[in-house]
Amino acid sequence: MAARLLDGAAIAQEIRAEMRPAVEAFTAQARRPPGIALVLVGNDPASELYVGSKLKSAGENGLRADIERLPESASVDELLRLVDRLNRSDVHDGILVQSPLPDAMGADAERRVFDAIAPEKDVDGFHPVNVGKLVQGRAGLVACTPSGVIEILERSGIRIAGARAVVIGRSDIVGKPMALLLLHRNATVTICHSRTGDLPKVAKDADILVAALGRPAFVTAEFVKPGATVIDVGTSKVTDRTLVERLFAPGTKRHAAFEKRGALTLGDVHPEVEAVAGALTPVPGGVGPLTIAMLLKNTVRAAELRRGAR
């Protein structure tokens, strides 16, 4: 039987609708909307696209959003000065620095910049103070993609407490916070990575399997226990015709989309998993829409917390 597809776009819409009264109440009391500054360095087309959708979504939901641009040639110090100005801004409750930063800024630039964002404005949840609060299970600003995954699970009626959860990927922005959020909801969690031995066997133990590795169609049916919930966080833009044709036969919708655009966005989960899993997030339309919804939710929360702290 085919897996139930978990509709991330509909859940994101639900979250945005629920947020509306809080946005209106804040705006009325503070006499300004909750605000977010989106920092974009350079002209990376994918980053332009991401920042553009965040700007649009914020505006549509009654938030103020401003793009702060720096040229590709900007130094880390210039970026740190911009972050410092935004930390002191009264109208910005959240600051998001779009990654990746230009290579010329150096390997440690992202960490230096994320560390410089005031924790109470860190709507990405990357600052060590917020990561520490997450480890301790204290309320704070939590990374958007993993908290979006929790919303999908909870709102789809998937039991987390007592479940065996396997997270493939241990990055600071997805894998680790994902594992912690599941743990705090009483799942028994295993974290896997590129050195995990016999990954299919470990993954097959999962009632909830989260794939966050960034390897298109890597998770095949042999990784999945029949009936398990599979969350596909991966998004890879694929232009390799051989790979696409191995996954989608000519005449299918996805193949036609590839023919039209010359590229497809693929998740980490192989299409054959749909026949084995009990529930599955599609790519696109699964986890992706939640990331922006959670960013807006974090911005409203940051605004309320900052106002409450006065």
- Chain residues in the site for ligand NAP (CB under 6 A): 145, 168-171, 173-175, 192-196, 199, 212-215, 233-236, 287-288, 291
Closest to ligand NAP by CB, 61 or 281: 281
Closest to ligand NAP by CB, 219 or 277: 219
The structure tokens listed for 95 are 């600051």
Residue 198 CB, shortest distance to ligand NAP, in Å, is 11
Known catalytic residue at 98: yes
Collapsing DSSP to helix, strand or coil, 115 comes out as helix
Greatest CA separation found in the chain?
61
Give the position of tokens 């779009």. Answer: 98
Q: What are phi and psi of 108, to 5 degrees?
A: -95, 10
Beta bridge partners of 175: none
d(CA 282, CA 163): 22
Catalytic one among 98, 121, 232, 268?
98
Catalytic one among 7, 54, 176, 297?
54
Residue 161 CB, shortest distance to ligand NAP, in Å, is 25
d(CA 274, CA 276): 6
Residue of 270, 295, 283 whose CA lies nearest to 218: 270
Residue 29 CB, shortest distance to ligand NAP, in Å, is 32
Closest to ligand NAP by CB, 170 or 204: 170
Closest to ligand NAP by CB, 42 or 234: 234
In the chain, alpha helices (H): 8-30, 45-60, 76-88, 109-116, 128-135, 144-155, 175-184, 199-203, 241-247, 253-261, 288-308
Residue 175 CB, shortest distance to ligand NAP, in Å, is 5
Collapsing DSSP to helix, strand or coil, 45 comes out as helix
With vertex at residue 82, the alpha carbon angle to CA 81 and CA 85, rounded to the nearest 5 degrees, is 90
Residue 294 CB, shortest distance to ligand NAP, in Å, is 9
Residue 211 CB, shortest distance to ligand NAP, in Å, is 8
Q: Distance between alpha carbon 203 and the CA centroid of its chain, in Å?
A: 21
Pairing of strands 229-232, 208-211: parallel
Known catalytic residue at 93: no
Residue of 242, 175, 247 whose CA lies nearest to 218: 247
Catalytic one among 124, 207, 232, 268?
124
Closest to ligand NAP by CB, 33 or 169: 169
Closest to ligand NAP by CB, 215 or 254: 215
Q: What are phi and psi of 96, to 5 degrees?
A: -125, 120
Known catalytic residue at 253: no
Residues with active-site annotation: 54, 98, 124
